[in-house]
Amino acid sequence: MYLNASIVHERVKGLVQSGVMSLPEDLVIRVYLTSTRSLKREVADTAMAADLKNILLRLEMPQFVWCADLATPTEYAASETSGRVILDATAGTYERDPWIMWHDQGTIAYKDVGRGAKVEVRIEPYALYRNNLKEIAAC
């Protein structure tokens, strides 16, 4: 893996600020590294828009990916997200196009066999990715 968390955060922030995604200004960006297998297992068990689920489950990805869940403070407090960005964890630091997929509440953009694809669809907030990021209760 070549991209570190701070670089991923800055790149996601840049994507958000570019205006390509339709998101509110007050936003929580939660960055994490995960295996594609764990991400797809979690997606399969999460209630989310059918089009988004289908794309995520069939999308070709490297073994490890960086993800950023994007949420309003209210959504985040409810453990929900309404946007996600996925980047190739094996991309080089200066690689121009590490994006695998991103979505906001109305658009899913992704790489499909090396070419860009876009789907317009309504996406309601869904559960944040937890897997190994679950909270531990105090004893």
pLDDT tens-digit map of 80-90:
999 999 999 98
Region 50-58: what's the mean pLDDT?
96
Confirm whether 88 is domain-assigned.
Answer: yes
User: Which pLDDT tens digit goes with each residue over 94-133?
Assistant: 777 899 999 999 999 999 877 889 999 999 999 999 876 5
- Enclosing domain of residue 58: 5-132
3-class secondary structure, 61: coil
Confirm whether 101 is domain-assigned.
Answer: yes
Confirm whether 120 is domain-assigned.
Answer: yes
Confirm whether 77 is domain-assigned.
Answer: yes
Confirm whether 139 is domain-assigned.
Answer: no
The number of domains in the chain is 1
Closest by CA position to 82, among listed 22, 13, 4, 1? 22
Positions of E strands within the chain: 28-35, 64-71, 80-81, 83-88, 99-103, 107-112, 115-120, 126-127
- Rounded Cα gap, residues 118 and 19, in angstroms: 16
CB 87 within 8 Å of CB 11: yes
- Rounded Cα gap, residues 108 and 126, in angstroms: 15
Which distant-in-sequence residues (6+ apart) come within 8 Å of 48 by Cβ?
Answer: 123, 124, 126
Confirm whether 137 is domain-assigned.
Answer: no
Confirm whether 45 is domain-assigned.
Answer: yes
pLDDT at 138 over 70: no
Put simply, whether the predicted model's pTM sits higher than 0.75 gets the answer yes
DSSP structure class, residue 107 = E
Confirm whether 138 is domain-assigned.
Answer: no
